[in-house]
A and B are shown apart, each in its own frame.
Chain A
Amino acid sequence: MDESDHPGDPGDPRTGNEPLDRLLPGAHHLDADDRSLLLEAFARLVHPTALVVAAYLFVVGLHHPGGGFAAGLVVGLGLLLRRAAGGPRDLGAAARANPGVLLGAGLALAAGYGIAGIVLSGDLLHGTVLHLDPPLLPPYDLPTSMVFEIGILLITVGVVLDILRTLGAEDDR
Chain B
Amino acid sequence: MVMRMPRLAGPRSFLAAALLPGAAFVWLLVRTPAVLAGRTDGVSVPWAPALGLQIDLRLDALGLLLALLVTGVGALTLVYARWYFAERADRLGRTCAVLLLFVTAMVGIAVADNLLVLYVAWELTTVCSFLLIADGGHTAEARRAALRALLATTGTGFAMLLGFLLLGREAGTYRISGLAAAEPAGGVVTGAVVLILVGAFAKSAQVPFHPWLPAAMVAPTPVTAYLHAAAMVKAGVFLVARLAPALAETVPWQPLVVVIGLATMILGGWRALGQTDLKTLLAFGTIAQLGFLMVLLGAGTRTAAIAGGTMLIAHALFKACLFLVVGIIDHSAGTREIGELSGVGRRSPVLLGCAVLACASMVGLPPFVGYLGKEAALEAFHSHAWGGPGALAGLVLGSVLTVAYTGRFLQGAFAGPARPSGEWHAPPAGFLAAPVVLALAGAVIGLQPKRLDHLVAAHAGLLPDPGKPYHLALWHGFSVVVVLSAGTLVVGVALFLVHRRLAPLHGRLAGPATALGANDALAAGSTRAAAWVDAHVHARALPDQLARTVLAVVLIQAVVLVPVGIPVPHPWDTPWQAVVAAGALAGTVAVITLRRQLYAAVVLGVVGYLVAVVFVLQGAPDLALVQLLIETLTFVVFVLVLRRTPRAEARRHPHGRGLRAAVAVSFGLLMTLVSLTMASRHARSLPSPDYLHESPGHGGPNVVNVIITEYRALDTLGEVSVLVIAATAVAGLVLQSTRIGGPQAPDEPGTQRAEVSTRDG
Nearest 7 Cβ contacts at the A-B interface: A62-B700, A143-B699, A73-B629, A125-B713, A145-B709, A65-B621, A169-B738
Residues from chain A with Cβ under 8 Å of B714 in the complex: 114, 124-125
Residues 158 to 209 of chain B near chain A (Cβ within 8 Å) = none
B731 touches A166 (CB 8 A): yes
Per-residue interface assignment for chain B, residues 726 to 737, with 1 indicating a CB less than 8 Å from any chain A CB and 0 otherwise: 011011001100
B720 contacts the other chain (CB 8 A): yes
Expressed in whole angstroms, the Cα–Cα distance for A70 and B702 within the complex equals 14
B708 contacts the other chain (CB 8 A): yes
B624 — nearest CB in chain A belongs to which residue?
A: A65
A167 touches B720 (CB 8 A): no
Residues from chain B with Cβ under 8 Å of A141 in the complex: 700
Per-residue interface assignment for chain A, residues 133 to 173, with 1 indicating a CB less than 8 Å from any chain B CB and 0 otherwise: 00000000101010011011001001110111111011001
* Partner-binding segment picked from B238-246, B511-519, B637-645: B637-645
B700 touches A152 (CB 8 A): no
Expressed in whole angstroms, the Cα–Cα distance for A100 and B730 within the complex equals 12
B738 touches A67 (CB 8 A): no
B705 contacts the other chain (CB 8 A): yes
A65 touches B640 (CB 8 A): no
* Partner-binding segment picked from A3-11, A12-20, A75-83: A75-83
B701 contacts the other chain (CB 8 A): yes
**Taking A64-B702, A65-B624 as contacts, is the C-beta distance between A166 and B629 under 8 angstroms?**
no
Expressed in whole angstroms, the Cα–Cα distance for A120 and B591 within the complex equals 53
Expressed in whole angstroms, the Cα–Cα distance for A129 and B637 within the complex equals 38
A24 contacts the other chain (CB 8 A): no
Expressed in whole angstroms, the Cα–Cα distance for A162 and B730 within the complex equals 9
B537 vs chain A, min Cβ distance (A): 27
B733 — nearest CB in chain A belongs to which residue?
A: A166
Residues from chain A with Cβ under 8 Å of B669 in the complex: none
Residues from chain B with Cβ under 8 Å of A63 in the complex: 700-702
A56 vs chain B, min Cβ distance (A): 12
Expressed in whole angstroms, the Cα–Cα distance for A173 and B697 within the complex equals 54
Option from B717, B730, B734 in Cβ contact (under 8 Å) with A110: B717
Option from B629, B701, B705, B716 in Cβ contact (under 8 Å) with A74: B629
**Taking A114-B717, A167-B640, A169-B734 as contacts, is the C-beta distance between A107 and B632 under 8 angstroms?**
no
Residues from chain A with Cβ under 8 Å of B716 in the complex: 110, 148, 152
**Taking A62-B702, A148-B709 as contacts, is the C-beta distance between A110 and B720 under 8 angstroms?**
yes
Expressed in whole angstroms, the Cα–Cα distance for A9 and B155 within the complex equals 57
Residues 688 to 745 of chain B near chain A (Cβ within 8 Å) = 697-702, 704-705, 708-710, 713-714, 716-717, 720-721, 723-724, 727-728, 730-731, 734-735, 738-739
A48 contacts the other chain (CB 8 A): no
B626 touches A70 (CB 8 A): yes
A34 vs chain B, min Cβ distance (A): 9
B133 vs chain A, min Cβ distance (A): 27
A160 — nearest CB in chain B belongs to which residue?
A: B633
**Taking A61-B702, A124-B714, A125-B717 as contacts, is the C-beta distance between A103 and B724 under 8 angstroms?**
yes
B630 contacts the other chain (CB 8 A): yes
Residues from chain A with Cβ under 8 Å of B720 in the complex: 106-107, 110, 151-152, 155
A61 — nearest CB in chain B belongs to which residue?
A: B705
Expressed in whole angstroms, the Cα–Cα distance for A159 and B632 within the complex equals 15
Residues from chain B with Cβ under 8 Å of A103 in the complex: 724, 727-728
Residues from chain A with Cβ under 8 Å of B739 in the complex: 169
A65 touches B622 (CB 8 A): yes
B708 touches A162 (CB 8 A): no
Expressed in whole angstroms, the Cα–Cα distance for A62 and B641 within the complex equals 36
B585 contacts the other chain (CB 8 A): no
Residues from chain B with Cβ under 8 Å of A99 in the complex: 727, 731
**Taking A67-B708, A73-B629 as contacts, is the C-beta distance between A163 and B699 under 8 angstroms?**
no
From B639, B644, B702, residue with most partner A Cβ within 10 Å: B702
B480 contacts the other chain (CB 8 A): no
Residues from chain A with Cβ under 8 Å of B53 in the complex: none
**Taking A80-B633, A103-B724, A110-B720 as contacts, is the C-beta distance between A166 and B701 under 8 angstroms?**
no
**Taking A73-B629, A151-B720, A169-B735 as contacts, is the C-beta distance between A129 and B624 under 8 angstroms?**
no
B625 contacts the other chain (CB 8 A): yes
A126 vs chain B, min Cβ distance (A): 9
Expressed in whole angstroms, the Cα–Cα distance for A26 and B697 within the complex equals 48
B636 contacts the other chain (CB 8 A): yes
Expressed in whole angstroms, the Cα–Cα distance for A62 and B731 within the complex equals 33
B632 touches A67 (CB 8 A): no
B738 touches A170 (CB 8 A): yes
Residues from chain B with Cβ under 8 Å of A163 in the complex: 637, 727, 730-731
Expressed in whole angstroms, the Cα–Cα distance for A93 and B52 within the complex equals 56
* Seed contacts A57-B625, A127-B699, A162-B728; 7 additional CB < 8 Å A-B pairs: A83-B640, A84-B639, A114-B717, A125-B710, A129-B698, A145-B713, A155-B720
B734 touches A166 (CB 8 A): yes
A and B contact pairs by CB, cutoff 8 A, 18 listed? A65-B625, A66-B622, A67-B622, A68-B709, A70-B629, A80-B633, A84-B639, A107-B724, A124-B714, A125-B714, A127-B699, A141-B700, A143-B698, A148-B716, A159-B727, A162-B730, A163-B637, A167-B640
B213 vs chain A, min Cβ distance (A): 37
Expressed in whole angstroms, the Cα–Cα distance for A69 and B717 within the complex equals 12
**Taking A63-B702, A170-B738 as contacts, is the C-beta distance between A145 and B637 under 8 angstroms?**
no
B625 touches A145 (CB 8 A): no
Expressed in whole angstroms, the Cα–Cα distance for A159 and B626 within the complex equals 15
Residues from chain B with Cβ under 8 Å of A164 in the complex: 637
Expressed in whole angstroms, the Cα–Cα distance for A62 and B730 within the complex equals 33
Expressed in whole angstroms, the Cα–Cα distance for A163 and B733 within the complex equals 12
Option from B624, B633, B728 in Cβ contact (under 8 Å) with A73: B633
Residues from chain B with Cβ under 8 Å of A169 in the complex: 734-735, 738-739
Expressed in whole angstroms, the Cα–Cα distance for A149 and B730 within the complex equals 24
B723 touches A155 (CB 8 A): yes
Residues from chain A with Cβ under 8 Å of B698 in the complex: 129, 143
Expressed in whole angstroms, the Cα–Cα distance for A69 and B709 within the complex equals 11
Per-residue interface assignment for chain B, residues 639 to 672, with 1 indicating a CB less than 8 Å from any chain A CB and 0 otherwise: 1110010000000000000000000000000000
A104 — nearest CB in chain B belongs to which residue?
A: B724
Residues from chain A with Cβ under 8 Å of B625 in the complex: 57, 65-66, 70
Residues from chain B with Cβ under 8 Å of A46 in the complex: none
A116 vs chain B, min Cβ distance (A): 12
Expressed in whole angstroms, the Cα–Cα distance for A166 and B622 within the complex equals 29
Expressed in whole angstroms, the Cα–Cα distance for A65 and B624 within the complex equals 9
A111 contacts the other chain (CB 8 A): yes
B712 — nearest CB in chain A belongs to which residue?
A: A125
From A111, A162, A170, residue with most partner B Cβ within 10 Å: A162
Option from B621, B632, B637 in Cβ contact (under 8 Å) with A167: B637
Residues from chain A with Cβ under 8 Å of B710 in the complex: 125, 127, 143, 145
